[in-house]
Each structure stands twice: as C-alpha cells, then as structure tokens.
Structure 1
Amino acid sequence: MLLWVVVSLVLLCGSEASPGLSCKSGTNEDVDWFVLVKPPAGETYVYIDAKGKKDMTSSIRDGALVHTLSPMLRSVRNMPPSFGFLSYSDQPPGASANMKLFGHSKGLVLGDSSTQTSVWITHSTPQFPFRRDQNSFWPDSGAQQGQSFLCVSLPFSALSTVGKHLQNIRAYPFDYDLPAGFPKELIDASKWVHSDALLGEFQTLKTSGNTDLKLMAKPLGDEAEAGDLYVKLAKGLNTDLSAQTWGCQPGRDESYCDKDQQGKIKLQMLNVEEITDGKKTWSTKQDHSKWAVSTRPNTGWTCFGDVNRSISQYGRWGGAVCISGKDLNGFFKGFVKKPLPCRKRPAPCSSSEMFSQIHELAENLQEKLEL
C-alpha cells in the first residue's frame, strides 16, 4: 500500500503542467516584457525590462532571445502538442515577400494552449530567426546594423487580437505550426487572410503583468498625413514623437510638423539623426531599428514599428506596438542624441553608406520595381 502511494505521488509530480511561456531575461527568469537595442557593428546590446537597463557585453546570440525562443528552436516533432509558433518577415532567410501582397513587418508569436500563455516579439532584423536551432538562429548579417526587439508576455486569449493585427499589417508567415485550439484569427493570418478593419486606429491589449499596449496597423497613402505610420501614432497618442527609422531609405521624408492657422506648431514628429547608448554615438544611417518615443510630459509611450519614414513606404502595409511605461520612455528619450528640426531635410547617404546596406538595397530595388 505504501509503495502504491509513493508511485502515485511520483506520477502526479511528473505530470504537473509546465510553468508556461514568458519573455525571459538573460538569466532565464520570467519577465513581463523586455526590449533589446543592439548598436551597429557588433553583437553586444542594451537590455531593458521592468527592473531597469543593463549594458550586455555578451553576444545577442546568448541570453534573453535564446531563452525566450528555446521552445521553438527545435524540430516540430519534438514540440508538445499544445505548443504552436509563427514566424513572419518581409525578409525571411533566403527570400523576400511579395511587396504587393505583404507588409513590411517582422516578428514571432509563441503560444501554449495547455498553460494559456503566449509570447509576441516584434523586431527589425532581416532573416531572423535564420534557423530554428539554438546555435544558428541569429543571422550573421544581423551584426552590421543597429536593431531592436520588443518582447511581451501575453495571456493565450490575446492571440486573437494579435492575429487580427497580423491580418491588418499583411504579415508574411514563413515558418509556423499552429495546432488545433489556437485562435482562428491567428490561424487565418498564417493562411494569408488579410483585413482592412481598424486601419489607423488603436487596438488595446494588456500583458500578463498588466502593462498597457496599443497596436496600430497603418492605412496606405501618398502623403505623410495619410500613409505615415509615425504621424498616425503621434496623432493617435496626442503627443509629439521622436522616431528612429533606417536613415538610408530612398525618399526619406523630413520631420513632420502640424501647424495651426497662426503658424504655431500643434504637433511634431521629428526624425532621429543620431543615437547614443551613453558610451558611443552612431548615425541612423547605420541603424535598421524602428521605434518612436513620446516626448510630451506625462505621456510615457514607446512604440516599435515595422516601416521606415519614407515616401515609398507610405504605400506599404505595416504597423506598430506601443508600450506604456515611464522608465522605458525615459530610457528611449535618452537614446535620442540628435533629432532633426522641422523644415530641415535629412542628409542623403553616401555611396559607401548605401553599399554597406546590401540587404536593404535589394529590398529598395524590389520596392521600386513593384510600385
């Protein structure tokens, strides 16, 4: 009888549910969200979560990303039946998405129906993840330019809203396995179902730790008023913004300033020209990350976008995830070294700067051919 009780206890303990999915810190601890900012010309990065900011001397190949993505960095045969994932990118490994059908966006979604948990990462890195393997998920090309990642931990039910957002931004799914029981909206997004609902309007979400999120998919247009994601964000959040996007995008637009009838600036969306992490400073021409930070007092929003601020991309699908938090907002205000004032055009890239951005040059050529 005693042996039977011991065996039963062992079986019960062995069958306990896994703790669930979550964004992970560099020490593999669960966190509600994190942000990674990687400067150009290297693989070290700045790590930020609710506990603060850290300068990481290790490679971005180690730490928070690999810990968070470990459930999907394996063969589908070795994944639990309740686990699913979706990787999307306009620049997947070895290919490019059709720009007429799909948006300019990059990210990953992980979910587990048994634990009712999920993770969503939005980022700026082409060819990521390069492979579903812990030793080769990071593309070698990712070291050259600055990049950014936002990871949020979500309840499983939030994947319905995430799926709608992916439909709105026309995300291109290049690698996925979504078992039965996942929200229909996410499964539809994996099947290239697209939607025009709520373009230019915010959808709201809360992370597992109750942090406020706002999602926006932008409409298309020829002018900044109609098709610029960051102008839409500034107006929707009712705040001035400073926005970092790739500085060598052809047709890069000047900073946007909305004035009243007397010529007084009501709202401004300023391009970032130089970025600093406190140790070094670099040009936005070397940085592929896409983010915007609210600059009016008591706003506290930091947004991570899909597209660049250029006239050619006003006609591209894409969106942004905005996260609320005074400390994170303060860190990103500190990253802004040099904003570009209104009525001042951004300096063009030199031929050597353009040549160093080979992946983006290929994308720009395809963009021109398909417009």
Structure 2
Amino acid sequence: MGLPSSLFLLLVPLLIYSPVEGRYKCKDLNGKQVDWFVAYKLPTGIANANGGKNFVYADSNNPSWQLSRKTIDDPDSAIGATVSQAYGDDTSSFVLMYSDDGPTTPVDSYRGHAKGVLVFDGSTGFWLVHSVPNFPGMNSYIYPPTGFKFAQSFLCVSVATDNLAAIGEQLTFIQASPFKSQLPDKFGTRFPVLRTVLAKKSLPPSATIFTSTKHIQTEGGTAFHVYAKHKKYKQDLWHDLVATDQGVSLGVQTWLNGGADDLHSSCRRDGVNVFDITDLTIMGANFSSSKDHSKWAVSDAARRPVVCVGDLNRQKSQLSRGGGALCLEHAALWRTYRGTVRDVEACMAEWARGGAEEGTFGGVMKIVVYLGVVMMAR
C-alpha cells in the first residue's frame, strides 16, 4: 500500500532539504572521499616543484608518494577539495579554522602555534592539520603566495563526529586560535568543549597537568594518538611528550632557521633519542631542512613504524607555546617518510658521565659531542 498523498507531500520537502549525514570527509587526488591522507608541498628550487606549487601525496589506499597533477593553489586539488567543504551554505554543519597566523588576523605569539581546519555534520567530518601561515582563505579556498617558497606539511583524517569531544579538549590544551567558525546549537549542546575553544578559554588557573593524550580512530579503523601540550608544560613536544610516550627514537623535521633559538638533536640515558633532520629527498629531489617549514616525525626503526604530523618547531621559544601532533603506526607509510630522510644532526648527550656517547638513527652512527669530546661517526 502506498503512502497517502497528503503524507507524501509533507515528506518531499524533508527529502529535498534535509542535509545528508556523513558527507564531510577528506578528499583524495580525484576528489573522492578517503579515510586519511598526508601531503608534502615541495619547496622552490628543486625538481618537480613548479615554483613551490606542486605537492606529493599519500593516503590510506596508496601510502607511497605520488606527485599531484593539480597544484596546491587549485581548489580541485586534494587539499583544495577537502578545505572547500568549509565554504558551503550548509548552516547545520560545524566549521572551525584556527591558526596562530591566519589570513586576516595578526600573528598571535601568546597562544598555541597550531593550524588546522575542521568540518563536521552530525555523523562524520574531517580534521586537517597543516603548517601553512595565512591559510586558507576566509570565504573561499585560497593558497597564499607566501606559502610557495618553503616545504609544508598536511595530514587529514576522516572521523566520526563523536570524536569532537576529544579533539575539542586537545584544542583547548594547545590554545588554538579560531579565525573562522560556525557552531550550530546542536553541536554546542552535544560538545560543550567546542564553545570553550571558540571563546579562546584555556585551562583553569588551578590546573596542574599540562599535557593530554587522546586516541581517535578514523572511519576506516586507523588508530591515531593525538598529543597536546599547553604552554605551561615548557618542554619539547617531540622529545619530552611524543617520543617518550611512544618509547621510540624519532627523526624530526621542523623549522630550524632560528639560529641560537633552535633545539638540537639530543640523546637520553634511556635510549629514547630525537634527531633533527637536516637533509631530505622526495622522488629524487634533494633539499635542505632550511627550505622546509613542515612539522613531522618518523621513528628510527621498522619494528615500531611511527609517523607523526604536528604543529611545533624544535625551538627554545616554542617550549612555551601550545601545540600538538597526530601519530599512527603504519609500516608502508613509515617507509615513505623514512625514505624521505637523507641525514640528521649529530646527537648530543644530555647526562653527565664524561667522555662521549653515540646515538643512532636507523642504524647509522652519528657523531656525538659531549663535554667538548668528539667521537667520530662510524
């Protein structure tokens, strides 16, 4: 038996105008939904860079670098298509863009050094973490010309909307700086922490814990550790929080053009070491870390194939800034990132035993300087 005509007429507008749930996810190179992706924008002055407009891409379906046919400033590129979902006329979705250096806001050196985009409906959404200042545009997808010169990093995860509680708490710890937002009442009621984020409220004065580690899972089942540190933590995100929690040594790529402000590779008695990456290679093109503004890390050995993408540089000034990182264990993606590392800085021991100590990254012995004594690399 069919529906009465009067009931059918009532349902038609709902079918036409009700938003379809589960429509917001990361987009791949062909504009199709994908569980997660990483991207690496190439710096100017190297092969295949196209003036700093080209990027390589890997995702849950193919975790090896592919050169995108579309440039980073193309709204139809993987990054463009993903971010462009934030500019629709859907007033029922949650939208958040945050940056310490947004397209229309002054640089905020007090709050977190973090940049990202979130778009969610009642079922699913995506979280894009990136390293590009002045990005993206307020009202349409725009990649700033200032972002072409140096390499940049991107990570996008497609997750269920329930994860917004954990994500919101992490954004509170890092003191994210929103510059564009849309928070429908249903999201504010369901996830009160989002109101806290948009109000730029942070931890209470009575707080004594200044780091947070959460676990989220993508729609496809990939597990991520989500790390966050508040400015009052006053320690290095990569060594003191991420590497220590993971229990692995890391090679870390961050912005290291700060001279005396830069932190250096460091070894610890427990063998959990952090090495600053100095030279990189992508698809046959070599470049120095001085041309790279990205922020990511890779573990030293395949027995724990950890890859992380995050917010903070290994600089003294950033010990007092909030920021975070997302990490996963993925053997194929680990090989992709580990193969990007050409060389790392020598490791400097932190403990006082005298003499010299050796540190390794991927089985390669590095010179270690301690108390003025130098041990040659082997």
Is TM (by shorter chain) over 0.5? yes
Match of 2:199 in 1: 191
Select which of 60, 83, 86 maps to 1:50. Answer: 60
What secondary structure is seen at the aligned counterpart in 1 of 2:273?
Answer: strand
Match of 2:81 in 1: 67
Select which of 255, 260, 263 maps to 1:253. Answer: 263
- Work out whether residues 277 and 335 of structure 1, in 8 Å CA contact, stay in contact via their aligned partners in 2: yes
CA distance in 1, matches of 2:78, 2:208: 34
Match of 2:346 in 1: 341
Q: 1:299 to 1:175 in 2, by over 3 A?
A: same
Match of 1:37 in 2: 40
Match of 2:238 in 1: 230
Does residue 218 of structure 2 align to residue 207 of structure 1? yes
CA distance in 1, matches of 2:140, 2:253: 31
Does residue 80 of structure 2 align to residue 86 of structure 1? no
Query: What pairs with 1:101-250 in structure 2 (closer than 5 Å)?
Result: 102-113=111-122, 116-134=123-141, 137-182=142-187, 183-195=191-203, 199-220=210-231, 227-231=235-239, 232-250=241-259
Instruction: Give, as a single letter, the amino acid of the residue that structure 2 aligns with 1:65.
Output: I
TM-score by length of 1: 0.82
What secondary structure is seen at the aligned counterpart in 1 of 2:134?
Answer: coil
Q: 1:157 to 1:300 in 2, by over 3 A?
A: same
TM-score by length of 2: 0.80
- Work out whether residues 249 and 308 of structure 1, in 8 Å CA contact, stay in contact via their aligned partners in 2: no
CA distance in 1, matches of 2:147, 2:247: 34
Cα displacement (A) at 1:337: 1.1
Give the number of aligned pairs. 327
CA offsets 1:132-169 (integer angstroms, 9 cap, x no match): 214xx211111111001100001111111111000000
Query: What pairs with 1:18-33 in structure 2 (closer than 5 Å)?
Result: 18=20, 19-33=22-36
- Work out whether residues 34 and 50 of structure 1, in 8 Å CA contact, stay in contact via their aligned partners in 2: yes
Instruction: Give, as a single letter, the amino acid of the residue that structure 1 aligns with 2:119.
Output: L
What secondary structure is seen at the aligned counterpart in 1 of 2:146?
Answer: helix
Q: 1:133 to 1:331 in 2, by over 3 A?
A: same
Instruction: Give, as a single letter, the amino acid of the residue that structure 1 aligns with 2:219.
Output: S
Listed as ranges, the gaps of 5+ residues in structure 2 are 45-51, 350-378
CA offsets 1:22-59 (integer angstroms, 9 cap, x no match): 10112111101011101111111111101223112421
Instruction: Give, as a single letter, the amino acid of the residue that structure 1 aligns with 2:225.
Output: K
- Work out whether residues 198 and 217 of structure 1, in 8 Å CA contact, stay in contact via their aligned partners in 2: no
CA distance in 1, matches of 2:208, 2:280: 35
Cα displacement (A) at 1:201: 4.1
Q: 1:2 to 1:199 in 2, by over 3 A?
A: closer
CA distance in 1, matches of 2:212, 2:197: 19
